[in-house]
Amino acid sequence: MIVFLLSTVILLTTGLQTTETVSAESETKKVYKELILGTSAEFAPYEFHKTIDGKDQIVGFDIAIAEEIAKDLGAKLVIEDMGFDSLLSALQSGRVDFVISGLTPTEERLKSIDFSDNYYVAHQVIVVRAEDQAKYPTMKELEGEKIGVQKGSIQEEIGMTIPNADLTSLDKIPDLILQLETNRINAIIVEDTVAEGYLDSEIVLADAEPEDAESLAAIGIQKGNTELLNAVNDTLTRLKSNGDIERMVKEASLLAAGKEKSGNILDVAWKYRSYYIQGIGYTLLLSALGVLFGFIIGLFISLLRMTNIGIVKWLGTAYVEVLRGTPMLVQLMIIHYGMALTFGINFSPLQSGIITLSINSSAYLAEIFRAGIQGVDRGQMEAARSLGMKRGTAMRHIILPQAFKAVLPAIGNEFITIIKESSIISVIGMADIMYQAGVVKNITYKGLSPFIIAAAIYFVMTFALSKLLSVVERKLSASDNR
């Protein structure tokens, strides 16, 4: 059954793109037709989302460098946007060919991936609220303070060296800025180039400066891929000698400075409606296929659990207990990255999302179906068998219809849950509603409005489904009153 699910999902979703990504034809070929870049596009001016000619694009000087690398290799650049702390896993598993996201080549990272020559030098700064600017003249005053850093970054390592510091590690810089604005943290350690885009009358630089203020940026390459490493270094040498990187940095900084901060929630909803519409499409696709496969697998597992064959019953029970006893996010990471690292199976974000939602939901639906089937009076089966019906026929025509009617409200609740929990898939770059809300937040610098819009969309979807299920329930109950 699981093999059937995997095969069906792959067939249904092959060729569908998520966040502008396509699987590479081969990672080991000397001639690249497609070069897949892994990045975390919320790190302006390195890489960030920008609406250009009415279309969402990932831009920045890192992206400009990646385009030059792909051009030199005669390949098409394909961008896969994901959380910063997922980049190394994606590179190690072969999901991406190289990683550019302002990465600093630390000794720890060098143990798992290779790095190109350095292409940019940045300095670490301390960002604080304007009223606190004079409060932190040196790093000494930051001891014991609440400090924000990007998860898995060099800034996190610096933060760990500050005595008694209470660190808040998050994936995205805009989330850290929001934490600072809402007084949840008192300072942020960030690169000066990145900080520039957030400075205004309320967010400023403190005089304090980390001792290890200088950081180098390099490109991450899969361990042992010397061919690509050499090609990347050749491109970087050309760009640095021509002064192209300095030009790219200036152009990206100007582009990042053009981000909008104005407009109320209705303006944001209307202006960026295309983002949310795309997100709704992927959310509905994820939920519909997750519900379909979850229903089929759940029914199958429930029947396994009620069989008299010991080993089969045990397998069904183990399936349910393992999936119900582990977080969906962990299951997603195992399917998306674990399968690639262990077996070399690279599912797209859409495929990983559908599989995760299906198997997770099936475990809960299996218990719902089992309760419904066992709730049907045993006399129903006995009566059917006495009329000459086979057990399978009786189950299909007599028991299951009654069980389904009894558990329909519980099934409806599970379907609604799937729609909401599909938002988890955004962490691997699936362009669903939550992912698009994050993109809009990064574009507008508004920390709340994009997510209120997303919440409203989820409410409308789940409310509509709830009403539809109520109609179905009333129709089914009407037949009982005849």
- Strand duo 146-150 + 166-170: pairing: parallel
CA distance 14 to 40: 24
Question: What are 325's two structure tokens?
Answer: 């006893």
Report the topology of domain 19-118+216-261.
Answer: D-Maltodextrin-Binding Protein; domain 2 (3.40.190)
User: What pLDDT shows up at residue 14?
Assistant: 55
Are the CB atoms for 379 and 421 separated by under 8 Å? no
Q: Which residue has the higher pLDDT, 7 or 226?
A: 226
Mean pLDDT of the region 185-192: 94
DSSP H helical segments within 376-399, as ranges?
A: 378-386, 391-394
CA distance 187 to 193: 17
CA distance 33 to 73: 9
CA distance 318 to 341: 24
User: What pLDDT shows up at residue 26?
Assistant: 41
Q: Which residue has the higher pLDDT, 197 or 290?
A: 290
Residue where the block lists tokens 């060296």:
161
pLDDT digits (tens, 9 = 90+) for 384-429: 878 778 877 888 788 888 888 888 888 888 888 999 999 999 888 8
Q: Which residue has the higher pLDDT, 25 or 287?
A: 287
Mean pLDDT of the region 13-17: 52
Are the CB atoms for 300 and 312 separated by under 8 Å? no
Share of the chain above pLDDT 70, in %: 90
Rounded to a whole number of angstroms, the CA Rg of the chain reads: 26
**Per-residue confidence band for 442, with pLDDT thresholds at 50, 70 and 90:** confident
Lowest mean per-residue pLDDT among 15-19, 69-73, 107-111, 311-315: 15-19
* DSSP assigned state of 129: E
In 3D space, the residue among 247, 259, 340 whose CA is nearest the CA of residue 36 turns out to be 340
Residue 344: is it exposed, middle or buried by C-beta count within 10 angstroms (0-12/13-18/19+)?
exposed
CATH ID of 120-213, from 1.10.3720.10, 3.40.50.620, 3.40.190.10, 3.40.50.300: 3.40.190.10
CATH class of 268-480: mainly alpha
Tell me the DSSP string of 7-67: HHHHHHHTT--SSS----S-SS-SS-SEEEEEE-SEETTTEEEEEETTEEEEESHHHHHHH
Are the CB atoms for 344 and 94 separated by under 8 Å? yes
Torsion sign (Cα): 210, 216, 222, 224: negative
Output the average pLDDT for the chain.
87
User: What pLDDT shows up at residue 11?
Assistant: 54
Close Cβ partners of 355 (under 8 Å, ≥ 6 residues apart)? 5, 6, 9, 335, 347
User: What pLDDT shows up at residue 7?
Assistant: 58
pLDDT digits (tens, 9 = 90+) for 141-183: 999 999 999 988 889 989 999 999 999 999 888 889 889 989 9
CA distance 26 to 28: 6
Are the CB atoms for 229 and 113 separated by under 8 Å? no
- Strand duo 76-81 + 34-39: pairing: parallel
User: What pLDDT shows up at residue 8?
Assistant: 62
Residue 12 has pLDDT above 60, yes or no: no
Mean pLDDT of the region 121-138: 94
Question: Could you check whether 19-118+216-261 and 120-213 share the same CATH topology?
Answer: yes
pLDDT digits (tens, 9 = 90+) for 177-188: 889 989 999 999
Mean pLDDT of the region 202-225: 90
CA distance 201 to 45: 20
The domains of the chain are located at 19-118+216-261, 120-213, 268-480
What's the full length of the chain, in residues? 482
User: What pLDDT shows up at residue 21?
Assistant: 39
**Per-residue confidence band for 20, with pLDDT thresholds at 50, 70 and 90:** very low
pLDDT digits (tens, 9 = 90+) for 348-395: 889 999 999 999 999 999 999 888 888 888 787 878 878 778 877 888
User: What pLDDT shows up at residue 22?
Assistant: 39
Share of the chain above pLDDT 90, in %: 51
Mean pLDDT of the region 205-217: 86
Q: Which residue has the higher pLDDT, 248 or 408?
A: 248
Are the CB atoms for 479 and 458 separated by under 8 Å? no
User: What pLDDT shows up at residue 260?
Assistant: 56
Q: Which residue has the higher pLDDT, 276 or 253?
A: 276
CA distance 253 to 235: 22
Residue 471 has pLDDT above 90, yes or no: no
User: What pLDDT shows up at residue 84?
Assistant: 86
Close Cβ partners of 295 (under 8 Å, ≥ 6 residues apart)? 362, 365, 411
